[in-house]
Amino acid sequence: MTKKKEYLEKIKDLSAEDIENEIIKLKKELIFFNIKKKTKQNVKTSLIKYTKNCISQLLTIEAKSLKLNPKP
């Protein structure tokens, strides 16, 4: 399995609260990458792209789970 498929399998099994915590963690990491980039430190741009992709995947899974199980 590729790294991306393993990650997707892992996040599909997470609860809604765990997904929210993972999104917050990744957004903080993305802010940290942007700060490093602005201060001209070495940052792998592929990591920024990968982090954004992970955030979007988590948000999609979160939206689908809310659509299937709406909160009263």
- The confidence band for 1, taking pLDDT boundaries of 50, 70 and 90, is low
Q: Would you say residue 49 lies in a domain?
A: yes
What's the rounded Cα separation, in Å, for the pair 17 and 29?
Answer: 19
Q: Would you say residue 59 lies in a domain?
A: yes
What pLDDT shows up at residue 70? 66
What pLDDT shows up at residue 65? 78
User: 10 Å Cβ neighbour count for 54?
Assistant: 20
What pLDDT shows up at residue 53? 92
What pLDDT shows up at residue 37? 93
Phi and psi, residue 14, nearest 5°: -80, 150
Q: Would you say residue 1 lies in a domain?
A: no
Q: Would you say residue 2 lies in a domain?
A: no
What pLDDT shows up at residue 49? 93
Q: Would you say residue 10 lies in a domain?
A: no
What total number of domains does the chain contain?
1
Average pLDDT over residues 25-36: 96
Among the ranges given (29-38, 42-51, 59-68), the one the predictor scored with the smallest mean pLDDT? 59-68
Distant-in-sequence contacts of 44-51, Cβ < 8 A, 24+ apart: 51/26
